[in-house]
Structure 1
Amino acid sequence: MSTEKIHVYFVPGLAAGKEIFRNISLPKHRYELHIIDWLIPEKKEPLSSYAKRMAAFVREPNSVLIGVSFGGVMVQEMASFLALRKLIIISSVKRRKELPTRLKVVKKTLAYKLVPTSLVLSANDLTRFAIGPKTEKRLRLYQEYLHVRDKQYLDWAIENMVCWQRKVVDPAVVHIHGDSDVVFPVKNIENSIQIPGGTHIMILNKGSVISKKIIEVIENK
């Protein structure tokens, strides 16, 4: 077995910071972990342009790229500019068809444009948008990790999540998804590795299970 470390890059969920990965543990002798922080987008910046800027942070060839939720959408766009060992998404979607009906309605009615982002900058409201209306315990757990409150970023990220246009699944994507995810219900998700009892925030409360699955995916030749 090669002694050279495998570099693993992570992109967090919408508005989240690097702390969201605190419960992910991969053997240090085998893996080198990197977290890519969200950039502030240029005004009306195309998703492809933003993805190219994010991809520039992946400096080692043959790396693993992992994204959570909206970060999963982002890594799929970033992959166009990279030669990767593995591309993994967690609690996310692989194409527009997998989005829930409520987000499709939001796009069709342009509802995301009608509510000023400044009105959802509070931790509770932003958390509900990021992970869905669920229990107060989960809201409190996740809101600790929402650090990107820049209005320009939020406007841009929400619009690009709701209006994501990908129709064809990238065959390289490996999808890890919870069977109790209320943001992206598993009934809409095709070809995923399902985590029993996994919610949209399973990256936080099922870290050991997710870590094990990540290792299995990476080491699967």
Structure 2
Amino acid sequence: MAASPMIYEHIKLPQDCFECHFLEWIIPDVDETLENYCRRFCKMIQDENPILIGTSFGGVIVQEMAKMMKVDRVVIISSIKSSLEFPRRMKLARSTGLHKLLPTSLVEKSELLLKYNLGISKRKLELYHNYLSVKNQYYLDWALDKIISWQQIEPIKNLIHIHGDKDPVFPIKYIKNCITVPGGTHVMIIHRYRWFNENLPGLLS
């Protein structure tokens, strides 16, 4: 939900075909709706008929943006294209509000966690530290609530869904009609970048 554009640092698309622009997360206004938040992102795009690519929560964002502007296509990675693809625990969180009890404030203390290794693997902590650009608790609480309460039933048109079969956040057994990356986890955009460099240009052309 808070990863910086650095997660795409190893993705190399042919420069004679594609020009890449990266959007940074913005802090939502108090009680801002997801619709209004996505509308602010749309204003950052100057080109006509862009291809929008989003990973995880970013996948939800670009789908909402595509409802507000004309796009060539939308690519979502390690994400969901319908609220029907939520795993059971997220559906439970939506009905009970349990997600509001998660200790999102710990993200603001990633340096401390990295120093003392409080029960989290060093590799994961270093990954969070290197790639999480937004460590604002209000943003994290807001984003978590928006993705849990997302209600899209029918996938949008011109959508390409790329998903790993080892994704623990959105397990593949709940995902329909996607391009499956063998061995891909929720952070495969980082760890499986070679697959994307080999296959993404063809999918976008």
TM-score (norm 2): 0.90
Q: Deviations over 1:100-124 (max 9, x none)?
A: 1111111211112234632453339
CA shift in 2, pair 1:162/1:43, >3 Å: same
Count how many residue pairs are aligned between Structure 1 and Structure 2.
Answer: 200
Q: What is the root-mean-square deviation in Å for CA atoms of aligned residues?
A: 2.2
Amino acid at match of 2:154: V
Instruction: Give the secondary-structure state (helix, strand or coil) at the position aligned to 1:34.
Output: coil
* 1:140 is aligned to 2:126: yes
Instruction: Give the secondary-structure state (helix, strand or coil) at the position aligned to 1:144.
Output: helix
Match for residue 184 of structure 2 among 184, 189, 198? 198
Contact 1:142 1:201 in 2 (8 A): no
Amino acid at match of 1:81: M
* Runs (5+) with no aligned partner, structure 2: 114-118
Contact 1:181 1:198 in 2 (8 A): yes
In terms of fraction of residues, the more strand-rich structure is 1
**Residue equivalent to 1:82:** 69
**Residue equivalent to 2:45:** 58
* Runs (5+) with no aligned partner, structure 1: 1-13, 127-132
**Counterpart Cα distance in 2 of 1:153 and 1:138:** 21
Structure 1 residue runs of 4+, over 6 Å off? none
**Residue equivalent to 1:156:** 142
**Counterpart Cα distance in 1 of 2:146 and 2:71:** 24
* 1:69 is aligned to 2:59: no
Deviation, 1:68, is 0.1
**Counterpart Cα distance in 1 of 2:68 and 2:199:** 25
Q: Deviations over 1:178-216 (max 9, x none)?
A: 111111101100000001111111000111211332211
CA shift in 2, pair 1:188/1:40, >3 Å: same
**Residue equivalent to 1:30:** 17
Counterpart mapping for 1:77-116 below 5 A: 77-115=64-102
Match for residue 209 of structure 1 among 187, 195, 205? 195
Q: Deviations over 1:12-58 (max 9, x none)?
A: xx111111111111112221111111111011111011011011112
Instruction: Give the secondary-structure state (helix, strand or coil) at the position aligned to 2:21.
Output: strand
Instruction: Give the secondary-structure state (helix, strand or coil) at the position aligned to 2:53.
Output: strand
Q: Deviations over 1:68-90 (max 9, x none)?
A: 00000110001112211121000
**Counterpart Cα distance in 1 of 2:125 and 2:28:** 26
